[in-house]
Amino acid sequence: MLNQKHRARPERQMAGSTNRWRLPNEPFSRDLLALSQMCKAMCLDVDNTLQAPAPDRLCTPRTQTKCRGPWKKAVPSGDGVVTLECLGFRWELHLPQLFQSETLTKLYVSALSEAPTSRVSHLARLLPGPPSGKARERPAVKRLTISLRINDPMVTKIAFATALKNLYTSQMDLSLDEVLGVLASAHALQFSNLFQRCVAIMVQGLSPSNVANFYQAGCKYKEEPLSASCEQWMEMNLVPEVGRQIHLQKIPKELLLKVLRSPRLFVFSEFHLLKTLLLWVYLQVNPRLLVLPTHEAVMTFFSSFPKKTCFLDQDMEYGFMELFLCLRLHGIIRGQDLDVLRHLNFFPESWLIRVTANHYHAMECGGDMAFAKDLTHQAVRFGLLFYKEYTSYSEMFAIYGFFFSMRGIRNSSTSYSFYMQRIRPADVGFPSEVCEHGLVSLQPQRLVRYEIRAHAWVDGQWQDFGTKPIMQKFQFVRPTCKSQVLQIQTVGSPIYVIFSFIFPAS
């Protein structure tokens, strides 16, 4: 009998974990325990609910049968509870989704607080008197309208609509072309889940074409992990990637300055870094260029300035001087590259005299670099890119008559070894251009202070490897001709390997 009565009752909803029930189309009764349990289930505050102008808004909305445009698949069926006016459009949002946005939640609470109904009338509606024998009609729910004004030019109508759509589903795939606008929209909405998802997409998709915009977005919205990731990516790719594309023009000066000052900066040589920086200056002075100029065009441009005053001395408008103070001009060794410095008419005469004097004294003293003592900030740097397709790879360089080879070996699919080795000029396969001007040191040994560092990009993070600073005498025979070997394990490719060294006084 009890079961039959139970089956005869209309369908009800459970308000909490205990046996408290209510009809789905009726407002809350005087049962405060049921009210408390329902508020807990819906993540709402009981006190705020008691003060709300329309507590029966907590009832489950009726199903919505029609959706328009891109909302048709994303918006679950149900009457819109709040109408949002923004960017010249009107969107209908549901409370559970609206509460994911801190901005919209604040606007909604503010709209409720401005309603004229007093708290007494709310309590009277929430706790009605004894039943009069007639069914009490549910009061009409007044639909609220809130307005949001956004002044951020990065927030477009399409990006904002995408951000609102993400209130209803987190399975949407965002492309790199649209992620910047969606990030700005998520920031305006204070939609933290979507904002962090955009940041993760941007970090994974860094490239020469977007690194400048992503870095500026990280600074604008004070998202330190995003701006730091852009800096780290630029430290490795300024010379090998960005410096070879027209996108170098968009790199802001403050980002470039941070990268040049970083001890992690990857360079093929100091002269390669100089050419990249000269190209950046050329693109700033000629901002309308749409095609990357040739190296010869850049050199001709700076050489054409009057000989009375160099380019940096005339640079009062752009402030390029502090950028070039970060360069290690003493690391430009080749005679051909030094000739470019002299004829470029870019640096002050005092800088060129200092570079020439340093090289002269080093050659007179058997290679001792009295002008360089700090391995972190004054060492001469050479680098190589090692791809996973290589089994072995090497590059040679010469400095003050001493010749070295940088070598990388792939031991397995994820294991690599890197080292440098002193070689004889008479060795088979030695390139003649390395032994420029026939400068050869006859010293049987050379004291070298050096370190080897390697970096690889894996799953959105940089893996860093390196030796400690090492002092070693290099000779021509094994094992004294070979440096300490840096062995690493990584699945990243390419591997950025940097050899930094100084010839200290013997």
Asked if residue 239 has pLDDT above 70, the reply is yes
Confidence of residue 27 (pLDDT cuts 50, 70, 90): very low
Percent of the chain beyond pLDDT 90?
A: 54
Instruction: Kindly write down the DSSP assignment for every residue of 303-334, as one continuous string.
Output: HTS-TTS-HHHH--SS--HHHHTTS-GGG---
pLDDT in tens, 173-225: 889 999 999 999 999 999 999 999 999 999 999 999 999 999 999 999 999 99
Domain ranges for the chain = 1-60, 63-121+140-205, 267-364, 376-502
User: What is the distance between the alpha carbons of residues 38 and 21, in angstroms, rounded to a whole number?
Assistant: 10
Q: Which two tokens mark 499? A: 């050899």
Torsion, Cα 195 200 201 205, to 10 degrees, reads: 140
Q: Which two tokens stand for residue 227?
A: 């701006």
- Distance CA(166)–CA(169), nearest Å, equals 5
3-state secondary structure (DSSP) of residue 69: coil
Residue with tokens 């740097």: 381
- Class of 376-502 per CATH? mainly beta
Residue 324 and residue 277 in contact, taking contact as beta carbons nearer than 8 Å? yes
Phi/psi for 211 (5° steps) reads: -60, -35
| Separation of alpha carbons 341 and 335, rounded Å | 10
Q: How confident is the model at residue 25 (pLDDT cuts 50, 70, 90)?
A: very low
Whether 49 and 35 have beta carbons less than 8 Å apart is answered as yes
Helix (H, G, I), strand (E, B) or coil at 145: strand
> Virtual CA dihedral for 216, 222, 223, 224, nearest 10 degrees?
90
- The C-alpha atoms of residue 80 and residue 446 are separated, in whole angstroms, by 79
Q: Looking at the chain, how many residues does it have?
A: 506
> In this structure, is the dihedral angle defined by the CA atoms of residues 303, 308, 312 and 318, taken in order, positive or negative?
negative
Ranges 227-241, 304-318, 403-417: which has the least confidence = 304-318
Percentage of the residues of the chain whose pLDDT score is greater than 70: 76
**pLDDT tens-digit series, residues 110-136:** 888 876 554 334 434 444 445 544 444
Say yes or no to pLDDT of 22 above 90. no
- Per residue in 377-396, pLDDT (tens digit) is 999 999 999 999 999 999 99
Give 168's Cβ-side CA count (13 Å radius): 17
State pLDDT tens for residues 77-120.
344 578 999 998 898 888 888 899 999 999 988 888 876 554 33
Q: Which residues contact 466 (CB under 8 A, 6 or more apart)?
A: 451, 452, 453, 454, 486
CATH architecture of 63-121+140-205: 2-Layer Sandwich (3.30)
- Model confidence at 492: pLDDT above 60: yes
Question: Do 43 and 32 contact (CB within 8 A), yes or no?
Answer: no
For residue 93 the two structure tokens come to 């949002």
Spatial distance between the Cα atoms of 37 and 29, rounded to a whole number of angstroms: 13
